[in-house]
């Protein structure tokens, strides 16, 4: 897995399993947005947001919150792309593993997140704009059964 190193991290780059608990850097996940023949990918735009619907998952790019970046498609050779359909399971597995580590280490019992495990990954949606370029969007991930 390739992570981009940035000198500036934001508070939303971290998660905590309980109020006042230690903060951990979120793993980065990359999703390729492509309109496929099964029509399980869709993009909708309004004035300040772009909604990506990919394999029953919803990702939201908010221009007021995040930046987008244009990259070469050559970067795809260096990244591990995730399947949006399996992302929810991966996020929950990650949470359970981290929860177990913290409970063992701190000798505490933690509850499961009430709204799901989406907040434990930092997600980027990659959209090809031509054969040589793509746009990388940092997004908020909201589980969706559309």
The residue range of the domain holding 37 is 14-143
- Residue-level pLDDT at 7: 47
- Residue-level pLDDT at 20: 80
SS (H, E, C) 47-77: CCEEEEEECCEEEEEECCCCCEEEEEHHHHH
- Residue-level pLDDT at 8: 60
Mark the ranges of the chain whose per-residue pLDDT is less than 70: 1-9, 36-39, 113-115, 144-146
Is 6 a domain residue? no
| CA-to-CA dists, residue 41 to 52, 112, 138, angstroms | 7, 30, 17
Count structural domains, the chain: 1
């Amino acid at each position: 897995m390739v992570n981009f190193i940035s000198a500036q991290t934001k508070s939303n780059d971290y998660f905590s399993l309980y109020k006042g608990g230690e903060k951990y850097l979120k793993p980065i996940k990359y999703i390729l947005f492509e309109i496929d023949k099964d029509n399980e990918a869709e993009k909708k735009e309004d004035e300040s947001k772009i909604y990506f619907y990919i394999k029953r998952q919803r990702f939201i790019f908010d221009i007021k919150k995040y930046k987008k970046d244009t990259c070469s498609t050559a970067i795809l050779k260096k990244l591990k792309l995730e399947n949006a359909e399996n992302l929810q399971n991966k996020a929950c597995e990650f949470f359970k593993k981290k929860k177990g580590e913290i409970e063992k280490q701190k000798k505490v019992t933690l509850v499961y997140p009430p709204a799901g495990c989406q907040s434990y990954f930092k997600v980027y949606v990659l959209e090809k704009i031509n054969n040589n370029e793509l746009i990388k969007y940092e997004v908020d991930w909201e589980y969706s059964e559309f």
